[in-house]
Amino acid sequence: MSESNGSEGRRFPAPQQLAASANVGPDVYARAEADRLAFWAEAARRLTWTREWDEVLDWSNPPFAKWFVGGKLNVAYNCVDRHVEDGHGEQVAYHWEGEPGDTRTITYAQLKDDVCRAANALVELGVQAGDRVAIYMPMIPETIVAMLACARIGAVHMVVFGGFSADALASRLDDAGAVLVVTADGGYRRGAPSALKPAVDDAVGRSPGVRNVVVVRRTEQDVEWTEGRDLWWHDVVDRQPAEHEPESFDAEHPLYIMYTSGTTAKPKGILHTSGGYLTQVAYTHWATFDLKPDDDVYWTAADVGWVTGHSYIVYGPLANRATSVMYEGTPETPHRGRWFELIEKYRVSILYTAPTVIRTFMKWGEDIPAGFDLTSLRLLGSVGEPINPEAWLWYHQNIGGGRCPIVDTWWQTETGAHMITPLPGVTSGKPGSAQTPFPGISVKVVDDEGNELGDDSSGLLVLTAPWPSMLRTIWGDDDRYVDTYWSRFGKEVYFAGDGAKKDADGDIWLLGRVDDVMNVSGHRISTTEVESSLVGHPTVAEAAVVGASDPTTGQGIVAFVILRGNAEDSGDELVKALKAHVAKDIGPIAKPRQIMVVQELPKTRSGKIMRRLLRDIAENRELGDVTTLTDSSVMNLIKDKLPASS
């Protein structure tokens, strides 16, 4: 199959100046190749350990890995205290901006005091190392302070998206066995305060293990109060001393549980530990983004409640002493230029976000970014889904001014950190491809039997060696851990669940979920390729494609498209044109059986399209698990569009 949209063959070499001063150069691959464990040990030495490890990797009982065995460190100390001790206390850690426009500037010294106070408060409330603490918060600095306070005392945090329902929160509190919940009265979203406390009251009412609820005052909404259980953050935290002696924990001490986003199935509680996780998160953040702590203003525009926020808003940037931007609200509030306004205001130099947002900006039109000064940007990143070549080019041109490399980073909640990505000073960019395994990471594309495939072929993505920030298990369910990830090709091969292609240059293209791959008259067709072809048409901003059972072809391709702001829905004519476009672009076999123009697509809170729900609709089934959906009314709007019998 072709790389669609005429992007084939286009290369975007790293800008010379960036390449000349990049944190990592081309030699990094050979170094990692020569001695993988020595390479990761060197990366680990960028952190401060109170006891050096005895062994880099213990893989004697696969798939249960131990990294930096015997090593000891404190994650919060590495993220905060050591920078203050090194004389950088006055450096800004976060430029925080609330949705209504209120701001807070938090230096490393202030962050250290805040984290110590919160750690002392948790200790006072009886939280011990190994206890689970749920964090159900808006995007405010206290969210990060709470995470770091847990890390500091060795408690395991479990951040749950502030947008999730009481049911979703309750099932996670129960699964993790949380003893305490940190929340807020509410947060600002789409121009209005939205409440959080009622969902907590509901969920905690069903979770007898939760002893206390600590509530940050953010919106000043009225809240119900349970005496003896509920405490205001400002009452319990503010009066604590700003000193707290950090204890060292084992490299394999649990750091957090994070539930996957649920695009393919019911969310899984992924467990990450301390030393290996922080090593790879910090190193990738430094190498992939070429982070220069003294010069850059770094912005991961995502929610802290998904793994991208954990690794690249909190742990990676702080471990590297970055100055970051953190924004509470949505991109369209109070106007569609809000993000660009923030880039201009804080002179953001590195922006990391998801394709869904870029396609939304495409839909709104390039006039909006054109109205702001975005010249501070020098590097752009993408994460969460394959970025369609057309969206890549739009991002490059309209946000990056044609000068910024784009790092398209493939990774998962389970991998903890970047696994496949271009390196900005090394790789010539190729729109739509994640390209190259990160140094020290072993990636293969294999067929159904696990045989490695050569260039110019597609199959399943697997990881053939353990990596420092890998998940250690699914919380409370070792069997499911083994079954889900390490059984298809044996105990030493991680099955990622994604399809992938290697092109003639050996560059890797992600093809979407294996569960989503379509089979039309015996041909395997990737959802991503058909979607990218549709997005390559000048009228289309966003597309989701699924295979629905079909009496003659096995599966028929059903496409849902959102039009660009300036495009007109000419009905049958448009549908015909789009079908012809895909047929010409990829081949007649990939021509959708049905195309529907819709206003919205079902997405997870992290912005991923939930194809399994669209497939349920296209096949007239009951909808599966919808707890991680942003907005369930979207499904009704789409259902109304469907002809009754299809």
CA–CA separation, 38 and 140 (whole Å): 38
CB atoms inside a 10 Å sphere around CB 214: 24
Q: Alpha carbon 287 to chain centroid distance?
A: 18
Cis peptide before 63 (omega within 30 of 0): yes
CB atoms inside a 10 Å sphere around CB 2: 12
Specify the residue, 260 or 473, whose C-beta has the smaller distance to ligand ATP.
260
CA–CA separation, 55 and 438 (whole Å): 22
Q: Which residue is nearest to Mg ion (CB)?
A: 260
Contact 99, 77 (CB under 8 A): no
Q: Where are any strands of DSSP class E within 315-400? A: 323-327, 350-353, 379-383
In eight-state DSSP terms, residue 464 is -
CA–CA separation, 224 and 635 (whole Å): 32
One character per residue 210-249, x = contact with Mg ion (rule: CB under 5 A): ----------------------------------------
CA–CA separation, 611 and 263 (whole Å): 7
CA–CA separation, 497 and 260 (whole Å): 13
239 annotated as a binding-site residue: no
To ligand ATP, the closest distance from the beta carbon of 399 in angstroms equals 17
Contact 416, 403 (CB under 8 A): no
Specify the residue, 310 or 338, whose C-beta has the smaller distance to Mg ion.
310
To ligand ATP, the closest distance from the beta carbon of 303 in angstroms equals 11
In eight-state DSSP terms, residue 589 is G
Is there binding between residue 627 and ligand ATP (CB under 6 A)? no
Contact 432, 386 (CB under 8 A): yes
Contact 323, 350 (CB under 8 A): no
To ligand ATP, the closest distance from the beta carbon of 258 in angstroms equals 9
Name 316's Cβ contacts closer than 8 Å, sequence gap at least 6.
281, 282, 284, 285, 286, 322, 417
In eight-state DSSP terms, residue 546 is E
Name which position in 591, 608, 611, 615 contacts ligand ATP (CB under 6 A): 608
Q: Using the rule CB under 5 A, give the single segment among 256-264, 272-280, 566-574, 638-646 that binds Mg ion.
A: 256-264
CA–CA separation, 115 and 119 (whole Å): 6
Is there binding between residue 605 and ligand ATP (CB under 6 A)? no
540 annotated as a binding-site residue: yes
**Segment (H or E) for 159:** strand 156-159
SS3 170: helix
CA–CA separation, 354 and 607 (whole Å): 7
Contact 12, 429 (CB under 8 A): yes
Please give the residues from 394 up to 413 whose contact with ligand ATP meets the rule CB under 6 A.
408-413
Please give the residues from 292 up to 311 whose contact with ligand ATP meets the rule CB under 6 A.
306-307
To ligand ATP, the closest distance from the beta carbon of 409 in angstroms equals 5
The pairing of strands 55-61 and 64-69 is antiparallel
Q: Using the rule CB under 6 A, give the single segment among 30-38, 42-50, 78-86, 378-386 that binds ligand ATP.
A: 378-386
To ligand ATP, the closest distance from the beta carbon of 312 in angstroms equals 12
CA–CA separation, 350 and 237 (whole Å): 33
Is there binding between residue 263 and ligand ATP (CB under 6 A)? yes
410 annotated as a binding-site residue: yes
To ligand ATP, the closest distance from the beta carbon of 155 in angstroms equals 23
To ligand ATP, the closest distance from the beta carbon of 570 in angstroms equals 32
Q: How many residues bind ligand ATP (CB under 6 A)?
A: 28
553 annotated as a binding-site residue: no
Name which position in 207, 212, 264, 311 contacts ligand ATP (CB under 6 A): 264
Is there binding between residue 261 and ligand ATP (CB under 6 A)? yes
To ligand ATP, the closest distance from the beta carbon of 645 in angstroms equals 30
396 annotated as a binding-site residue: no
Name which position in 74, 469, 473, 606 contacts ligand ATP (CB under 6 A): 606
One character per residue 492-531, x = contact with ligand ATP (rule: CB under 6 A): ----xxx-----------x--x------------------
**Segment (H or E) for 527:** helix 527-535
Specify the residue, 260 or 320, whose C-beta has the smaller distance to Mg ion.
260
411 annotated as a binding-site residue: yes
472 annotated as a binding-site residue: no
Q: Using the rule CB under 5 A, give the single segment among 79-87, 225-233, 257-265, 324-332 that binds Mg ion.
A: 257-265
Is there binding between residue 434 and ligand ATP (CB under 6 A)? yes
Binding-site residues for Mg(2+): 535, 537, 540
Binding-site residues for CoA: 189-192, 308, 521
- Residue numbers of the site for Mg ion (CB under 5 A)? 260
- Residue numbers of the site for ligand ATP (CB under 6 A)? 260-265, 267, 306-307, 382-386, 408-413, 434, 496-498, 510, 513, 606, 608
